[in-house]
Structure 1
């Protein structure tokens, strides 16, 4: 029986694991540590800090994606603006120390979604080419992939990280590059949680797309994914069905 898709690529954060939970847990852990060390626990609570830090993380992300600021500048800005909001006396070097601590521990908070490993094994066993296309810095995203134990199914030439390629989703070029490296004689499918970056980007590049809507995002265009779901387990079942596989 023929398979509908012989190449399937996935986004990483909030597609294969909950980045939101890992990010929040690790950031809060690091913030608790730094305010204890500076005797600032009476100035602000972690519960107050995190929403402000998340706001600035989201606010400055577009500047990083556009190449206006570097990764280090992005991290410093979100930390120092959050500190300024609460009038906390943090320095640039402390912003760097905070993020060094975060990157050292964040992988410990990254847990794969249920069914991830079973899905990857099923696809690879069926000779489906699998890959990851993700926005972010090379060191951060590579560490997540290792923590999730995905390298047993993915070689380096099947992993496409925006910082290394100098192009971000939703630009067509990153999908075209992945397709050229993962050449197959069948269809191409992309699975991701971002409507703009993953669904719109993939469809505009000629791929089929599945919208794994783990964050209850509202679609902002008329693009038509082949399937929409809120869980990776349901997405896996749909892929098995369409590709005539037994999961």
Structure 2
């Protein structure tokens, strides 16, 4: 786990990899449900992501998620389903309020300590540095702009599933990235927090994968990421030392 990765293409997930995606979820739940610090926010957040992926696929994936009544219904339903597992029954009105609060603070983004610095160092070292993220195109691009990443990562290396047409873990999105950036699976590394989307997807495409397991969760299958990192100091040692 301590060997340096020699790579030319280094690509990052966005949500909960470059910044803490739990923060807007926690704020939304607190505002609407008046929860306290004892509520299991992290566990509930993981279930929200599970239902978000599941319901999104039923609607045709992120490419179909930009707008529309079905999308809005899905976004409210994911809150209802996730929080019901923690004995919190939300009315449709409460779910709508929670979704509005969630979206309202999703663009108030603070990157993880060391994230911006690592991106800068990798780019200066001559690597191809990019992003691969699931989500509706405009929604994800707003997050990227909120982090002011255009100055570090050329727009041509920013891949949003809603724009590309395939959602992780579909290996076609990784193949598409290789084709568009002139990289190959053998010299590409993917860093992400999601076991299903990032670890399974990246390995399936033949990439080297660093699982950014900063929440200390358990693996969900027998897949073996090449490395595991818990914070950006780990990532820096793997990629820069």
Tell me the TM-score range normalised by the shorter chain.
Answer: 0.7 to 0.9
d(CA) in 1 for partners of 2:90 and 2:167? 34
Q: CA deviation at 1:167?
A: 1.4
CA RMSD of aligned residues (A): 3.1
Per mean C-alpha deviation after superposition, the further-off stretch among 177-186 and 73-82 is 73-82
SS of 1:169's partner is: coil
> For residue 218 of structure 1, what is the aligned residue in structure 2?
218
d(CA) in 2 for partners of 1:169 and 1:211? 14
Q: Indicate how the Cα distance of structure 1 residues 87 and 100 shifts in structure 2: closer, same or farther if over 3 A, else same.
A: closer
> For residue 71 of structure 2, what is the aligned residue in structure 1?
71
Post-superposition Cα deviations, 1:143-174, rounded to whole Å, max 9, x if no partner, equal: 22122221211122211112222311111011
Q: Which runs of 5+ in 1 are unaligned?
A: 32-43, 242-247
d(CA) in 1 for partners of 2:136 and 2:201? 19
Count of residues paired in the alignment: 222
> For residue 90 of structure 1, what is the aligned residue in structure 2?
93
Q: CA deviation at 1:26?
A: 4.2
Q: Indicate how the Cα distance of structure 1 residues 226 and 21 shifts in structure 2: closer, same or farther if over 3 A, else same.
A: same
Larger radius of gyration: 1
d(CA) in 2 for partners of 1:214 and 1:195? 12
> For residue 118 of structure 2, what is the aligned residue in structure 1?
119
Determine if contact 1:64/1:74 at 8 Å carries over to the other structure: yes
Q: Which runs of 5+ in 2 are unaligned?
A: none
| 1:46 matches 2:38 | no
TM-score under structure 1 normalisation?
Answer: 0.76
d(CA) in 2 for partners of 1:80 and 1:177? 35
Q: CA deviation at 1:71?
A: 2.8
d(CA) in 1 for partners of 2:12 and 2:46? 26
Post-superposition Cα deviations, 1:75-116, rounded to whole Å, max 9, x if no partner, equal: 132356669x6475728xx82x664454233222x2111111
d(CA) in 2 for partners of 1:124 and 1:58? 30
| 1:57 matches 2:48 | yes
| 1:184 matches 2:183 | yes
Q: Indicate how the Cα distance of structure 1 residues 139 and 221 shifts in structure 2: closer, same or farther if over 3 A, else same.
A: same
